[in-house]
Amino acid sequence: MTCPPSAADADAEATADAVATVDAVATVDAVATVDAVATVAVIGAGQAGLSVAHHLRRRGFRAVSGAGDRGGPAGRTVVVLDANQRPGGAWQHRWASLRMATVNGIHDLPGTPLPPVDPAEEARTAVPRYFADHEAREALPVLRPVRVRSVTPVDARPDGALRLDTDHGSWLVRAVVNATGTWDTPVVPDVPGAASFLGEQLHSRDFVDAEHFRGRRVAVVGGGISAVQLLGEISLVTSTVWYTRREPVFLPGGFVHEVDGVDVERRVAADVRAGRPPASIVSYTGLIWTGALRDAARRGVLERRPMFTRVRPHGVVEADGTDTSVDVLLWATGYRADLDHLAPMHLRGPLGGVPVAGTQVTDEPRVHLVGYGPSQSTVGANRAGRAAARDLDRWLAVHEGAPAHD
């Protein structure tokens, strides 16, 4: 079933089943208005969410899709909720010029090898098609479009049930795996005067193609992969100027995934475990030279200027006081983790991040974050999905007195 559950699907029996199946001691009041129940809810069906769902099902969880599916005393269940209209996670929204040949590499979804693909095809069509095939092959019902608005404990007990309120009804679950990515939470720094700018301002997530900027002078802001890729493309059709807060670091020898990737994951994991908000991956890896970037460097496009201090109606004021005219401000300034719906769980620590060990939120075994911190890549998301499924299986086994499936 691929349509969202409706609040109208709720029936009186749901309350009793919710209490019996999800949490034998939750009060009836706490679940009186719930529409459906599952053991685990996976929020988000990008690479990370699909990986969790795959591994949970391998461990015997049955996928459910509405109020009629309530599992049973011996049946663990999983529901996958996704805010997008279609399969593909954030890939369906990538800009047109991002081709299969220019992505950094897409790891297979578990159980479904990526088929041969035309390198010239847009990633925003090829990857969603692959995700859709995977969902069909796995007969995985993903409820979409369903946006989770909030996740709330039903009572004060540390292992009590969690209530999910969505734009299509509510769910009662024992645990949540959050796999919501970052695409819906772009970051734009607060620069004085930005509101007075009379040209066009946009974030890189809204980039369509370089032609859109022809004849206009574009300031590209940011030191990450998106910034340099877009700079390379836009500078082929119009004049550009590049601003970054820090001097970008290009890796002289390129990035060796097997060796450097392990070290990067270890460093990101240490930050996340300590409760620091995860920084952009490029701040850990540095930038990797590609053919397009070497070409941009030869054309003199990668001459970076220190971040401007102020925006004026027709340009920016640079750090040394120079007034520079620009027609477009393109903020390639990254994203933050999309976790606002978890606010009622009070997961953030004093350093501003959510402390996470492995994929589990520290001291909160009911919540796992995948595609977060060290698992912010397609390969990392895959591994995190497997780990979250294993850890939840074990945690539930301890609470139910039943063996885990490993």
Ligand X SMILES: Cc1cc2nc3c(=O)[nH]c(=O)nc-3n(C[C@H](O)[C@H](O)[C@H](O)COP(=O)(O)OP(=O)(O)OC[C@H]3O[C@@H](n4cnc5c(N)ncnc54)[C@H](O)[C@@H]3O)c2cc1C
Given the DSSP bridges, would you call strands 200-203 and 364-369 parallel, antiparallel or unpaired?
unpaired
The residues pairing with 323 across neighbouring beta strands, listed in sequence order, are 317
- If binding is defined by CB under 6 A, does position 79 make contact with ligand X? no
In the complex, minimum distance from the CB of residue 50 to ligand X, in angstroms, rounded to a whole number: 7
Place of tokens 């450097």: 260
Residue 48 touching ligand X (CB under 6 A): yes
Each residue 223-252 as x (binds ligand X by CB under 6 A) or -, in order, gives: ---x--------------------------
Contact 200, 315 (CB under 8 A): no
Residues 334-353 that bind ligand X (CB under 6 A): 338, 341
Residues paired with 176 in a beta bridge = 41, 367
Strand order in the sheet with 218-221: 200-203, 328-331, 218-221, 240-244, 304-306
Shortest distance in whole angstroms from residue 125 CB to ligand X: 15
Express the helix, strand and coil content of the chain in percent, nearest 5 each.
30, 20, 45
Which residue, 218 or 370, is less far from ligand X as judged by CB?
370
Q: Which of 58, 59, 53, 55 is nearest to 89 (CA)?
A: 53
Q: Can you spell out the DSSP letters for 70-119? A: --BTTB-EEEEE-SSSSSSGGGGGS-TT-BTTTSS--PPBTTBPPPP--T
- Does position 103 interact with ligand X (CB under 6 A)? The reply is yes
Binding of residue 173 to ligand X (CB under 6 A): no
Task: Tell me: does residue 39 bind ligand X (CB under 6 A).
Answer: no
- Which of 65, 180, 235, 360 touches ligand X (CB under 6 A)? 180
Stretch that binds ligand X, among 19-27, 175-183, 307-315, 322-330 (CB under 6 A): 175-183
Instruction: Show Cβ contacts of residue 380 under 8 Å, excluding neighbours closer than 6 positions.
Output: 265, 371, 374
Pick the binder of ligand X from 5, 44, 232, 278 (CB under 6 A). Answer: 44
Interface region with ligand X, contact rule CB under 6 A, candidates 10-18, 23-31, 54-62, 373-381: 373-381
CB nearer ligand X, residue 52 or residue 329:
52
Q: Tell whether residue 21 is a contact of ligand X (CB under 6 A).
A: no
- 59 forms part of the interface with ligand X (CB under 6 A): no
Write the single-letter amino acid at 347: L
Q: At 85, list the tokens.
A: 């209209």
164: contact with ligand X by CB under 6 A: no
Binding site for ligand X (CB under 6 A): 43-49, 81-84, 89-90, 94, 103-106, 147-148, 179-181, 183-184, 226, 338, 341, 371, 376-378, 381
